[in-house]
Homo-oligomer: A and B are copies of this chain.
Amino acid sequence: MQRYFIAADNWKADNHIVLSANDYHHITRVMRMTEGDKIICNHPYCQAAICVITNISNEQVIAAVEEWLNDSVEMPVNVTVAQGLPKGDKFDLVLQKGTELGASAFLPFEAKRSVVKWDSKKAKKKLERFNKIVKEASEQAHRNRIPSIEEVSPFQKLLEKSKAYDVKLVAYEEETRSEQYHSLGSILKEIDQNQSVLICIGPEGGFTLEEINALKEVGFYTVRLGPRILRTETAALYFLSSISYHFEELEW
C-alpha cells in the first residue's frame, strides 16, 4: 500500500486527513486512485494508519483513518548521527543508509580536519536535496518517521548541543588500548529504551587530540568499531547496525 508522510496540520478532527500539493498529484495522477482506495498515512509523531479515500476534489484528497498501525519499525532508542563534514557526496550516503538503518536525526558539523566548507549560499538547495534523500529512504525502508537534518554546526556548537543527549559516543580507534576503555557493547548494555544516543564521527582525517579531549570533557565515551579502520562514511553505518542488532535482534 502506498505510504504518505502527512504534516501534523493536515490531520483534522474525527481522524480525517487532507492531502494536497505533491501528495494530491501523486494519488490522483500517478497512482490514479479513486474514492474507496486505501493508503497508509504517517503522522509526524510516529504512528501510521491505514486510511480510506473518502473524497477527491479539484485540489485535495480527503482520507479517513480506518486502522492505526502499531508496527514497531522505529528503533527503541533515538540515535542522532553527528557527522564531521566529509568530502564529496559521502554525506548523501550517510543520510540514505543511516535512514534505512533507523537514525532519528543527523547533525553535520565542521571539524578541524573537515576539508570542505559548506557554502551558505548553496545551503538551501543542499538542504532540499538532503531532505529528499531521507524522505525517499524513509518510504523505502517503511519507516514511521522521517529523520530530521539539523543545520551545520561549528564544533563548539556541537559540544553545547550534545548536552541534550543521555548517552554520547565518539568513534576513536586510538583509544582502544587504554585501561579505562569501555567497549561499545558494555555501553549499549547500560542504555534504557527511549533514551537518546548521540554518535559522533570525525571527517576523513579523524579528530584532533584537542577535539577528542573536548568531547570527553562534556561526557563522550570513546569507542572502537571493530579492530579495522573504517572510512568516515562507514562508521555511522557500523554504529547504527550494531545498535539495531543489540536492541532489536540480539535478545529476540
Contacts and interface: CB of A to CB of B under 8 A. Distances in A.
Contacts of A226: 101-102, 241, 244-245, 248-249
Interface of chain A: mostly helix, strand, loop or mixed:
loop
A193 to B, nearest CB: 15
A183 interface: yes
Contacts of A97: 234, 237
Contacts of A227: 71-73, 248
A153 interface: no
* Tally of this chain's copies: 2
A185 B250 contact: yes
Interface residues of A, number: 37
Contact of A246 (B101, B238, B244, B245): B245
Interface in A109-155: 140-143
Contacts of A251: 183, 185
Contacts of A249: 183-185, 223-226, 242
A186 interface: yes
A159 interface: no
Contact of A244 (B140, B143, B186, B238): B238
A242 B185 CA distance: 11
Contacts of A228: 73, 100-102, 141-143
A170 B246 CA distance: 19
Given A100-B230, A227-B72, A245 B241 contact: yes
Given A72-B227, A245-B245, A249-B224, A238 B183 contact: no
Nearest to A242: B245
B142 A229 contact: yes
Nearest to A99: B228
Given A225-B249, A226-B248, A249-B225, A100 B183 contact: no
A245 B97 CA distance: 18
Ranked nearest first, the 4 interchain pairs of A and B with the lowest CB-CB distance are A241-B241, A185-B250, A183-B252, A242-B245
